[in-house]
Chains A and B, each alone.
Chain A
């Protein structure tokens, strides 16, 4: 039974960052801009917030530190995404190229600054994990659900679900969401009724930057004690989750849980008695999430309904 709890909790640690970053991707693609730089934004957000934790962990600790780190990660993500926004919206450049440029910039920058600033010139930023909640006061004692959801958790897990609910409300129940979606489907029609397509796309990209930065922090904190300028390809997995979820938040949740489960099996297979008996080497397990992604994409992309105008720079003068 405790193995099921462990697998479930680990799945949460892997799924929630995927969910958050994929929701960010949904916002930008729904507004019409392809954002491949989610991986780079995750790295930048994780870098600044974990560096903050590293510097401040002598004086502060606990949830307060984590909340401040979350704010810093979000701010960094927004600032970094402005580069992509400027290139994609103002300069009307190829969005995949500018996204790739940001993806290459982020780890190089993180390693460079880490080695410059840290005292012994190492590129890993280490931190002590004082944020794990071993058991939520009342809810943790509920017989089965308590063990699944309320033990060994972080506030970021719950934050992820809150973000999901807010995304659904914003995207489908508010004026802003409707206008955002219109810009992704037919920007000329949206422009003709007076919506400022440029501003909407900026908003979409900044939201994705904020969520991606947050996702970077949420990924690193539960799963390791240092940050090594990489998020193991999570930004790209989040893109696949977004496509698998057909750009709809509820389906993105299901897709994120599926991939989280795959990743958990890949990394925790030695604890699961059934799998540790099989003579499959660890490299094959590491490949499993990516192979699963490919198979899933193969079957779900045929009827893929991407936002119609995604990836096309908006030019007011064109037909």
Chain B
């Protein structure tokens, strides 16, 4: 019994419950919105959201993993910055600049042979993302500019810059998209095409999932190792907790702020590269004045995963799962924006996490003091009876 109680009082369980609670409340709120807008089909709508990627069979699950790949990386980007005390809202700008770099290398550098082409493209994407985060990092470390505003500005600058660069170099003007990359630049399937497809008669309806998901999971593990098993990660976390104490201990906090932002930017840029290097049936960059939504969805992923890289993998898959369900909602005359509303509610309620985290131990403690209170009242009554009996 004690072991079970200790499990319930442990930190890890509390953190997980607060995230799960936030998810449940977010889904509940979404269900209420569905009810209000279309009562008769609300339950079906909720069912579709919960069935998520499974709604479209094995291909759907493949698509869930495909869209989870950039989310894992942008979640890592935001989560890594969180752990080091910074708020990286600029993941969207870093993402799209990384995507541009990857596609540009994919289209133009055709002199590279097969495995090197996509490797170089991914490295280029990471480098570009890191560069894009370098400026807010330097501004924060040396000029005390609040990184929330500078990263938001870099988001918009990145969006317009990427659109401009695509329009001048790799534009498909008939479709307002970027050109698709050379075949040698496409990420290999990594064995996943044997699993995730739907059979339409004799034709295989393939999912676009590829080895990007393996790369994303590998990077998450690497980040986990960096944060928890190296001195470098320890110094970064120390700066995040208290930069003055770290400076007193001899850690160069300005250098660490810049390095954290650059690493976060590299992660987001890599995410952009992984999403758009998926071949002819995959995505191509749309040249519109809209911020990359994958960048902003990294924030709930990081919050739900509590900035822990392993948790981020799961929360990215979860968010991708309900987003796929949301796309399928259009068959019921619901708008897929309901998923964005649900995700926003999940973030809102996860901000209450601190409050909920102390709720369960407080409840257990309350039960314990009530039990002890009853026991002591009984003992007092017995004492009074004994005294009365003595007299």
Residues in A lying within 8 Å of B, measured CB to CB: 36, 83, 87, 91-94, 96-98, 100-102, 104-105, 107-109, 111-112, 115-116, 233, 236, 239-240, 243, 281, 283-284, 286-287, 290-291, 293-294, 297-299, 301-302, 304
Other A-B pairs beyond A236-B152, A297-B150, 11, CB < 8 Å = A83-B348, A93-B355, A105-B341, A116-B38, A116-B335, A233-B152, A240-B149, A287-B161, A297-B149, A301-B139, A301-B144
Measured CA separation A96–B146 after assembly (Å): 12
Which chain B positions have C-beta within 8 A of A91?
Answer: 351-352, 355
* In contact, B299 and A108 (Cβ under 8 angstroms): no
State how many residues of chain B have any CB contact under 8 Å with chain A.
45
Interface residues of B (CB under 8 A from A): 33, 37-38, 87, 89, 135, 139, 143-146, 148-150, 152-154, 156-157, 160-161, 163-164, 167-168, 289, 296, 299, 303, 335, 337-338, 340-341, 343-345, 347-348, 350-355
Contacts of A293 in B (CB 8 A): 149, 153
26 A-B pairs whose Cβ atoms sit less than 8 Å apart in the complex: A92-B355, A93-B352, A94-B351, A97-B303, A97-B347, A97-B348, A98-B348, A101-B344, A102-B344, A104-B299, A104-B343, A111-B335, A112-B337, A116-B37, A236-B152, A281-B167, A283-B164, A284-B160, A286-B160, A287-B157, A294-B157, A297-B139, A298-B143, A298-B145, A299-B143, A302-B144
B296 and chain A: residue at smallest CB distance: A104
User: Shortest distance in angstroms between B72's beta carbon and chain A's nearest beta carbon?
Assistant: 19
A239 to B354, CA, bound (A): 27
Q: Measured between C-beta atoms, what is the minimum distance from A91 to chain B in Å?
A: 5
Q: Closest A residue to B37 by CB, please name it.
A: A116
CB atoms of A294 and B164 under 8 A apart: no
Task: Tell me if A100 and B145 are in contact (CB < 8 A).
Answer: no
Nearest CB of chain B from residue A109's CB, rounded to whole Å: 6
Residues of the A chain whose Cβ atoms lie less than 8 Å from the Cβ of B335 = 111-112, 115-116
Identify the closest chain A residue to B163 (Cβ).
A283
A242, closest chain B residue (CB)? B149
List, in ascending order, chain B residues with CB within 8 A of A36's CB.
148
- Chain A hits for B87, CB < 8 A: 96
A135 to B153, CA, bound (A): 37
Contact between B164 and A97 (Cβ–Cβ < 8 Å)? no
**Cβ of B347 and Cβ of A100 under 8 Å apart?**
yes
Of A111, A112, A304, chain B has the most CB atoms within 10 Å of the CB of A112
Q: Please tell me which one of the listed residues B150, B299, B351 contacts residue A294 in the complex, with CB atoms under 8 A apart.
A: B150
Shortest beta-carbon distance from B349 to chain A in Å: 8
Q: Which among A109, A284, A302 is the interface contact of B341 at CB below 8 angstroms?
A: A109
A238 CB to closest chain B CB (Å) equals: 10
- Contact of A101 with B347 in the complex, beta carbons under 8 Å: yes
| A115–B337 CA distance with the chains assembled, in angstroms | 10
Knowing A91-B352, A236-B149, A301-B146, say if A294 contacts B139 (CB, 8 Å). Answer: yes
Which residues in A have their C-beta under 8 angstroms from that of B343? 104
When distances are taken between beta carbons in the complex, the residues of chain B under 8 Å from A281 are 164, 167-168
Q: Distance in Å from the Cβ of A246 to the closest Cβ of chain B? A: 13
What distance in Å separates the Cβ of B265 from its nearest Cβ neighbour in chain A?
16
Contact A294 B153 (CB under 8 A): yes
**Residues on the A chain within 8 Å of B341, using CB:** 105, 108-109, 112
Beta-carbon contact of A101 and B337 below 8 Å = no
Q: Are B153 and A92 in contact (CB under 8 A)?
A: no
Evaluate contact between B146 and A243: CB separation under 8 angstroms.
yes
Give A34 to B161 CA distance when docked, in angstroms.
Answer: 30
Chain B residues near A98: list those with CB within 8 A.
348, 351
Can you name the residue of chain A whose Cβ is closest to the Cβ of B135?
A294
B163 touches A97 (CB 8 A): no
CB distance from A244 to the nearest CB of B (A): 10
Q: How far is the CA of A313 from the CA of B142 in the complex (A)?
A: 27
Contact A108 B340 (CB under 8 A): yes
Q: Contacts A243-B146, A283-B167, A304-B144 hold; do A108 and B351 have CB atoms under 8 A apart?
A: no
Interface pair B145/A291, CB less than 8 Å apart = no
Question: In the complex where A91-B352, A104-B296 touch, is A301 in contact with B156 (Cβ < 8 A)?
Answer: no
Bound-complex Cα distance A287 to B155 (A): 10
Docked-complex contact A93 and B156, CB < 8 angstroms: no
A87→B351 contact, CB < 8 A: yes
Contact of B153 among A105, A107, A290 (CB under 8 A): A290
Inter-chain CA distance A233–B348, complex, in Å, is 21
Nearest CB in chain A: distance from B33 CB, A = 8
When distances are taken between beta carbons in the complex, the residues of chain B under 8 Å from A291 are 153, 157
Nearest A residue to B26 via CB reads A101
CA distance A96 to B87 in the complex (A): 9
A279 to B280 Cα, complex, angstroms: 35
The interface residues of chain A lying within 8 Å CB-to-CB of B38 are: 116
Kindly list the 6 A-B residue pairs having the minimum CB-CB distance in the complex, ordered from nearest.
A108-B340, A105-B344, A101-B348, A283-B164, A93-B351, A101-B347
**Shortest distance in angstroms between B150's beta carbon and chain A's nearest beta carbon?**
6
CA distance A92 to B354 in the complex (A): 8
Distance, CA A286 to CA B167, complexed state (A): 15
Known A-B contacts A93-B351, A101-B344, A108-B341; A240 and B167 likewise in contact (beta carbons under 8 Å): no
Docked CA distance A256–B351 (Å): 32
The reply to whether A112 and B348 form a contact with Cβ atoms under 8 Å apart is: no
On whether the beta carbons of A290 and B156 are closer than 8 Å, the reply is: yes
In the bound assembly, the distance between CA atoms of A45 and B59 in angstroms comes to 41
CB–CB A104/B164 < 8 A: no
Closest A residue by C-beta to B290: A230
Query: Chain A nearest CB: distance from B156 CB in Å?
Result: 5
A304 to B144, CA, bound (A): 8
Known: A96-B148, A102-B344, A294-B139. A111 touches B337 (CB 8 A): yes
Cα A76 to Cα B34 with chains together (Å): 21
Contact of A105 among B135, B146, B348 (CB under 8 A): B348
